[in-house]
């Protein structure tokens, strides 16, 4: 196993052009490598106490460009994984005990998901289907009883009664996000992708079909007689602002302190394979592009952490590594790479009533981490119910804010066209994220 470091993995660098602003807190990371965790990326997760449930995702790195090896089924995560972050112990249970349609969806990647108390809602996902003999986006929604599922996996009991599935073509989405505003779920962006990935387009090789949703799909999910139902469904279409996938969707506050969701960047533009750099705010009434701002340093799904300073009425959203079109070289100069490489920097988008700006923290990751990873809170009492860390609940002493689990670990900034056997991998490292007020 290729372990990069065994201690704090943040290196201080000087980037004068974009570190003139500063946060009222500092961040550091420390690795944890539990026995039995071999790496995972693009998964879904839920949490109960100190135990984290990991579902789906992939056990390899960035998808390869060759259709015959891209999204190879042998790298599907075919286990439901429970991780105790206190004891670093891991339990696994295969998904093959479920019916074929359910087992296939549970081992897909880039599913949309949202935990509501003890229920984990999972939608869509992309992967190989033995039933269809092809790669598909799964047109289904799942509801999982989190605590019962975790206990069943740990005690090796029958877990089939803790999950229900509903087939619905409106749920055939991968690479989007699921969240909630008010009483409705919001399925935002993403795409339906069927067939083998091919960078040369749908008419080359085995071919594929791809359709962005260009939508926000709103609905409720009441349960009737133990079965999932979808009600109050409505879709908002915007082919300009909502044509995005593999982005970050984050809970945010507007300038008046009201809750909203924000789309950060995402891919791909219609005319060229480049990311969007604009942001889109979503409220219960509408959605709109954030004016006079272009995100520079994070353009793809990555581990993120929003932090709110109530005294300053300012929201700081942290992006850990990931993929970006722009980066800063060692001399502090902003460079553009249209191959959109993996990056080592940690960026922050700061928002308040005075406006919005972006800068880098002086700390930098020692490797190309963060892409297709998730930040998972360590102590929910530090966070608002909509997953924003409340700075007033922290102190000057360093505290454990959460964990960044897995993701892609790349050997170099640009590996998509590499012919190496393993230019990237699913990281087996779990990063402990510490935060302290200055």
pLDDT-based confidence at 332, cuts 50/70/90? confident
- pTM score, two decimals? 0.94
What's the rounded mean pLDDT across residues 208-232?
A: 95
- Higher local confidence (pLDDT), 68 or 303: 303
Are 246 and 110 in contact, with CB atoms under 8 Å apart? yes
3-state secondary structure of 395: coil
Rounded Cα gap, residues 268 and 247, in angstroms: 10
What's the rounded mean pLDDT across residues 171-187?
A: 98
What is the per-residue pLDDT for 357? 96
What is the per-residue pLDDT for 203? 74
Q: Is the pLDDT of residue 167 over 70?
A: yes
Q: Is the pLDDT of residue 5 over 70?
A: no
pLDDT-based confidence at 101, cuts 50/70/90? very high
Rounded Cα gap, residues 300 and 214, in angstroms: 17
What's the rounded mean pLDDT across residues 293-312?
A: 97
What is the per-residue pLDDT for 14? 42
Are 261 and 284 in contact, with CB atoms under 8 Å apart? no
pLDDT-based confidence at 344, cuts 50/70/90? very high
Rounded Cα gap, residues 46 and 131, in angstroms: 28
**Considering only CA atoms, which of 123, 234, 107 is closest in space to residue 183?**
234
What's the rounded mean pLDDT across residues 172-200?
A: 94
Q: What would the two tokens of residue 351 be?
A: 């928002």
Rounded Cα gap, residues 268 and 128, in angstroms: 23
> What residue segments make up the domains of the chain, in order of their start?
1-37+247-438, 43-109+111-245
Q: Say which range, 100-114, 153-167, 294-308, 417-431, has the weakest mean pLDDT.
A: 417-431
Exposure string for 298-320, b = 16+ CB within 10 A, e = fewer: bbbbbbbbbbbbeeeebbbbbbb
What's the rounded mean pLDDT across residues 12-36?
A: 77
Rounded Cα gap, residues 290 and 8, in angstroms: 36
> For all residues of the chain together, what is the average pLDDT?
92
Q: Is the pLDDT of residue 195 over 60?
A: yes
Other residues' Cβ atoms within 10 Å of the Cβ of residue 12: 8
Q: What would the two tokens of residue 332 be?
A: 């502090």
Q: Is the pLDDT of residue 8 over 70?
A: no
Q: What would the two tokens of residue 343 be?
A: 């990056």
Q: Is the pLDDT of residue 147 over 90?
A: yes
Rounded Cα gap, residues 323 and 311, in angstroms: 32
Percent of the residues in the chain that have a pLDDT greater than 70, as a whole number: 92
What is the per-residue pLDDT for 395? 84
Q: Is the pLDDT of residue 343 over 60?
A: yes
Q: Is the pLDDT of residue 96 over 60?
A: yes
Q: Is the pLDDT of residue 418 over 80?
A: no
């Amino acid at each position: 196993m290729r372990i990069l470091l065994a201690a704090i993995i943040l290196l201080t660098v000087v980037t004068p052009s974009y570190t003139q602003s500063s946060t009222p807190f500092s961040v550091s990371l420390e690795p944890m490598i539990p026995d039995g965790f071999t790496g995972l990326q693009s998964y879904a997760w839920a949490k109960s106490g100190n135990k984290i449930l990991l579902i789906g995702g992939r056990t390899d790195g960035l998808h390869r460009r060759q259709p015959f090896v891209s999204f190879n089924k042998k790298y599907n995560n075919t286990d439901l994984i429970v991780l105790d972050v206190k004891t670093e112990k891991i339990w696994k249970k295969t998904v093959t005990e479920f019916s074929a349609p359910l087992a296939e969806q549970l081992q897909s990647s880039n599913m949309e998901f949202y935990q509501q108390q003890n229920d984990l809602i999972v939608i869509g996902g992309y992967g190989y289907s033995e039933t269809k003999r092809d790669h598909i986006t799964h047109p289904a929604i799942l509801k999982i009883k989190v605590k019962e599922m975790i206990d069943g996996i740990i005690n090796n009991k029958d877990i089939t009664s803790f999950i229900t599935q509903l087939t619905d073509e409106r749920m055939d989405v991968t690479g989007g996000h699921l969240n909630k505003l008010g009483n409705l779920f919001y399925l935002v962006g993403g795409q339906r992708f069927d067939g083998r990935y091919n960078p040369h387009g749908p008419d080359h090789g085995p071919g594929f079909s791809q359709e962005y949703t260009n939508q926000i799909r709103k609905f409720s999910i009441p349960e009737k007689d133990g079965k999932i139902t979808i009600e109050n469904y409505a879709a908002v279409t915007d082919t300009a602002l909502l044509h995005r996938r593999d982005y970050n969707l984050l809970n945010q506050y507007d300038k008046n302190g009201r809750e909203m969701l924000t789309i950060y960047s995402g891919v791909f533009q219609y005319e060229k394979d480049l990311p969007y750099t604009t942001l889109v705010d979503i409220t219960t009434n509408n959605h709109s592009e954030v004016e006079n701002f272009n995100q520079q340093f994070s353009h793809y799904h990555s581990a993120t952490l929003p932090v709110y300073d109530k005294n300053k009425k300012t929201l700081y959203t942290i992006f850990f590594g990931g993929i970006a079109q722009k980066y800063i070289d060692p001399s502090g100069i902003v460079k553009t790479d249209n191959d959109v490489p993996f990056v080592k920097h940690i960026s922050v988008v700061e928002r308040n009533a005075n406006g919005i700006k972006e800068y880098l923290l002086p700390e930098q990751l020692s490797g190309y981490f963060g892409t297709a990873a998730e930040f998972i809170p360590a102590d929910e009492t530090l966070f608002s119910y909509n997953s924003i860390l409340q700075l007033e609940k922290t102190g000057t002493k360093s505290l454990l804010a959460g964990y960044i689990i897995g993701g892609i670990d790349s050997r170099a900034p640009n590996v998509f066209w590499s012919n190496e056997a393993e230019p990237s991998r699913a990281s087996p490292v779990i990063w402990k994220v510490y935060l302290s007020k200055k």
